[in-house]
């Protein structure tokens, strides 16, 4: 099985102000003269970590990574104003223009797959190909599956669900995302942080194939943990700022592009149904279903993603 490429440091880092409120943190690694690719991290609310640079052959790829609005080292951390899918799509274009890149490949997993599809469908003439993982189409059924009391994930991870649910009084459990948002948006810092810890514990404990029923340790960085939970809840309560079935409806705009879909068969946060529906709508893309959960660092998913970026590089260089 393929593993990640060796650790690599960025050769360039910069900040880009995209409006009067938000400034993004950008980095580039690999070969400055290589094939351009933009890496879109998950969440929404996550951020770039050093391991994300390692899915790409550094001799062949010019890798652009950035922390989305409110995420990671972008500022202000955790900010939800002027923070929608349309804003993020516009940011990706602003980065491409700023860096003088004519066209680039797009790599995204989980929420990153959502954003990758939204961007590629909005700007198909700027995209050379896509590598997607852990497909999330931002639909109500997917949000209910993972975060609401009528979803299926609670039946697979009952211990974790019990802890997630216990944070919300019984009277509010019919709308868990909204109940969490009220606490994540509270004026009380302790209320916000406690809700963030409970939210993140549920997601972190549900992301891997090998599952421990014990709660995962809390995040070391409390502010970053709050930003993840707050931005996720903000997006989820607004249906990810997408029109109904938008990403499947508009798939014809990218049908001509090479694509690979990597999906963990036992992904409990982004179930395989969405990946299969995307594959059916986009038969030109290759679907690789692997024995794994949600995490990009499950060995089978890492193997498939590294092979996919290598294959796309070979295609684009041919």
Burial, 163: exposed, middle or buried (Cβ in 10 Å; 0-12, 13-18, 19+)? middle
> Is residue 4 assigned to a domain?
no
Based on the fold, state whether residues 131 and 248 are members of the same structural domain. yes
Neighbours of 108 (CB within 10 A): 26
| pLDDT string in tens for the chain (318-residue length) | 999 999 999 999 999 999 999 999 999 999 999 999 999 999 999 999 999 999 999 999 999 999 999 999 999 999 999 999 999 999 999 999 999 999 999 999 999 999 999 999 999 999 999 999 999 999 999 999 999 999 999 999 999 999 999 999 999 999 999 999 999 999 999 999 999 999 999 998 888 777 666 666 666 689 999 999 999 999 999 999 999 999 999 999 999 999 999 999 999 999 999 999 999 999 999 999 999 999 999 999 999 999 999 999 999 997
Contact 106, 116 (CB under 8 A): yes
Q: Are 264 and 134 in contact (CB under 8 A)?
A: yes
Count of the separate structural domains present in the chain: 2
Three-class DSSP category at 55: helix
**Is residue 79 included in any domain, yes or no?**
yes
pTM for this model (two decimals): 0.96
Q: Are residues 300 and 211 in the same domain?
A: no
Give CA–CA dist 37/309, Å, rounded. Answer: 10
Beta strand 12-17 with 23-30 is antiparallel
Catalytic residues: 110, 267, 294
The DSSP letter of residue 7 is P
Strands (E), the chain: 12-17, 23-30, 35-40, 61-67, 104-109, 127-133, 259-264, 286-290
Q: Are residues 251 and 109 in the same domain?
A: yes
Q: Are residues 120 and 147 in the same domain?
A: no
**Quick one: pLDDT at residue 318?**
77
According to DSSP, the residues that pair with 23 across neighbouring strands are: 17, 75
Nearest to 89 by CA among 119, 65, 64: 119
211/268 same-domain check: no
Residues 269 and 132 in one domain: yes
224 and 246 housed in the same domain: no
CA distance linking residue 227 with residue 112, whole number of Å: 17
Q: Are residues 174 and 33 in the same domain?
A: no
Residue finishing a domain among 240, 266, 295 = 240
Same domain, 31 and 125: yes
One domain for residues 129 and 248: yes
Which structural domain, as residue segments, surrounds residue 236? 140-240
Beta-bridge partner residues of 130: 106, 259
Q: Are the C-beta atoms of residues 136 and 271 closer than 8 Å to each other?
A: no
Q: What H or E segment, with its residue span, contains residue 156?
A: helix 153-156
Same domain, 54 and 170: no
**End residue of a domain, out of 240, 260, 293:** 240
Among 92, 91, 53, 44, smallest CA distance to 71 is for 44
Last-in-domain residue among 194, 209, 240: 240
């Amino acid at each position: 099985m393929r593993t990640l490429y060796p650790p690599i440091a960025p050769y360039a880092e910069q900040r880009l102000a995209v409006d009067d409120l938000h400034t993004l943190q950008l980095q580039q690694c690999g070969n400055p003269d290589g094939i351009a690719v933009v890496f879109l991290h998950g969440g929404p609310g996550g951020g770039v970590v050093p391991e994300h640079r390692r899915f790409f052959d550094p001799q062949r790829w010019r890798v652009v990574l950035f922390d989305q609005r409110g995420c990671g080292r972008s500022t202000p951390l955790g900010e939800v104003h002027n923070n929608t899918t349309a804003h993020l799509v516009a940011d990706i274009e602003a980065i491409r223009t700023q860096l003088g890149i004519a066209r680039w490949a797009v790599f995204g997993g989980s929420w990153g797959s959502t954003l990758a599809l939204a961007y590629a469908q909005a700007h198909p003439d700027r995209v050379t190909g896509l590598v997607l993982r852990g497909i999330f189409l931002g639909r109500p059924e997917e949000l209910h599956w993972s975060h609401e009391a009528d979803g299926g994930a609670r039946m697979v991870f009952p211990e974790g669900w019990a802890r997630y649910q216990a944070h919300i009084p019984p009277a509010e459990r019919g709308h868990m995302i909204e109940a969490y948002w009220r606490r994540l948006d509270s004026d009380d810092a302790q209320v916000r942080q406690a809700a963030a810890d409970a939210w993140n514990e549920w997601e972190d404990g549900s992301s891997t194939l090998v599952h421990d029923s014990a709660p995962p340790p809390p995040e070391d960085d409390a502010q970053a943990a709050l930003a993840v939970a707050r931005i996720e809840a903000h997006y989820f309560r607004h249906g990810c700022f997408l029109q109904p079935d938008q990403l499947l409806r508009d798939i014809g705009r990218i049908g001509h592009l090479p694509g690979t879909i990597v999906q963990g068969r036992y992904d409990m946060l982004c179930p395989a149904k969405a990946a299969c529906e995307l594959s059916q709508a986009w038969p030109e893309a290759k679907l690789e279903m692997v024995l794994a959960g949600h995490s990009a660092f499950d060995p089978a998913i890492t193997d498939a993603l590294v092979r996919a970026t290598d294959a796309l590089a070979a295609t684009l260089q041919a």
